[in-house]
Amino acid sequence: MDSGYNGYGGSRFSEEILSTTENIIKTLYKVKYAEVRTIGGHVAAEVAILSTMSKKENMFAIGEESGGYTGYFGNYIPSMFSINSYKIPYDDESQMIDYEKMEKIAKHVNPSVILLGQSFFVKPYDLKRVREIADESSSKIIYDGSHVMGLIAGEQFQPDVMKYSDILLGSTHKTFFGPQGGIALTDDQELSEKMAFNTVWKTMDNYHLNRVAALGVAAEEMIHFGVEYASQVCRNSLQLGNELEKNEIRVKYSPWFSFSHQIHLSPLNNDKFGSFLEISKKLEDNGIIVDREGRIGTAEITRMGIDDMKEIGYQN
């Protein structure tokens, strides 16, 4: 629509901004089609699900108790779209899908969509194995990379995501250091057309042009500096996990801790330091922001140029 001829007048430059941003995102993620208008990762997920599922069909997703996204279960997206959501078998200790159990359950559930991705996300998947399971039931694979979109763009996390997934979607304001919003990417023309149809007037209307322009700027920066940034984020996570452990602050999944931007504090700290809520409040009082569920992220400090975790991990 970069001709500017749509339902509104005077939108030539608006359409040029949209088209330019789409092309920058396609270059960054090396994909054929990009939907950049969605105003959040959740909305991008709605668009992707509407484009791959019909009412009463079944979906596989990581359960919330294993770090999966709340919106994929219960009275949220499944209720809104009249679909059924089943939990992917997941081993919390190893942070891995139980692929054998998943394959067995898939034969009974026959999911139209296998939706991967987590809010607590420290390890990539064996996507080749998931693709094999998906092909047995003719399932589409949607990869929700909301928390790791910057690491994917920087080629440091799940490098085979577009080789095996039908749609990659996510937020643009977590490890991808852009404005609040969402994107959905695919190499499939038919899926691209469906996503375009399911964006405007179905899941949203106006797409916030200022956000799209900011997204294009952030993506351009990521093209030039994304590999350097994302690789340092991952190094910082591993080093921070090691330094905290050295200082008797327990971190989950030793000795590897994380392959992403997050490390997860262990509940074993709670007797000494208080609950995750209390830890978060204490840190905030000292100018350090972490969430209140035990996650510590390294994306922002990496953007600030910090590359040595020894001082951060030191307990006085």
What CATH number has the domain bearing residue 273?
3.90.1150.10
Give the chain's radius of gyration (CA, Å): 20
Residue 88's DSSP bridge partners are 62
Residues 77 and 164 reside in one and the same domain: yes
Q: Which structure tokens are listed for 202? A: 């179905």
Instruction: Among 193, 221, 249, give the residue marking a domain's end.
Output: 221
Residues 216 and 256 reside in one and the same domain: no
pLDDT values of the chain reduced to their tens digit, one per residue, 316 residues? 445 556 777 888 999 999 999 999 999 999 999 999 999 999 999 999 999 999 999 999 999 999 999 999 999 999 999 999 999 999 999 999 999 999 999 999 999 999 999 999 999 999 999 999 999 999 999 999 999 999 999 999 999 999 999 999 999 999 999 999 999 999 999 999 999 999 999 999 889 999 999 999 999 999 999 999 999 999 999 999 999 999 999 999 999 999 999 999 999 999 999 999 999 999 999 999 999 999 999 999 999 999 999 988 876 6
Q: Which structure tokens are listed for 126? A: 């064996």
Report helix angle 209-246 to 12-29, nearest 10: 30
244 within a domain of the structure (yes/no) = yes
Greatest Cα pair distance in the chain: 63
Give the pLDDT score at 316. 63
Q: CATH number for the domain including 213?
A: 3.40.640.10
Q: Give the domain extent around 259.
A: 225-303
Residue 84's DSSP bridge partners are 58
For residue 168, what is the enclosing H or E element?
Answer: strand 167-171
Residues 185 and 37 reside in one and the same domain: yes
Residues 85 and 234 reside in one and the same domain: no
Residues 216 and 229 reside in one and the same domain: no
Residues 138 and 79 reside in one and the same domain: yes
110 within a domain of the structure (yes/no) = yes
Residues 210 and 262 reside in one and the same domain: no
314 within a domain of the structure (yes/no) = no
Give the pLDDT score at 298. 97
Residues 298 and 210 reside in one and the same domain: no
State the amino acid at position 189 in one-letter form: Q
For residue 297, what is the enclosing H or E element?
Answer: strand 295-297
Gap between the Cα atoms of 31 and 188, Å rounded: 9
313 within a domain of the structure (yes/no) = no
81 within a domain of the structure (yes/no) = yes
Instruction: Kindly report the backbone phi and psi dihedral angles of residue 137, in degrees, each rounded to the nearest multiple of 5, phi listed first.
Output: -110, 15
Beta carbons within 10 angstroms of residue 205's beta carbon: 9
For residue 97, what is the enclosing H or E element?
Answer: strand 96-97
311 within a domain of the structure (yes/no) = no
239 within a domain of the structure (yes/no) = yes
Give the pLDDT score at 286. 92
Number of domains forming the structure of the chain:
2
Place of tokens 């979906």: 59
1 within a domain of the structure (yes/no) = no
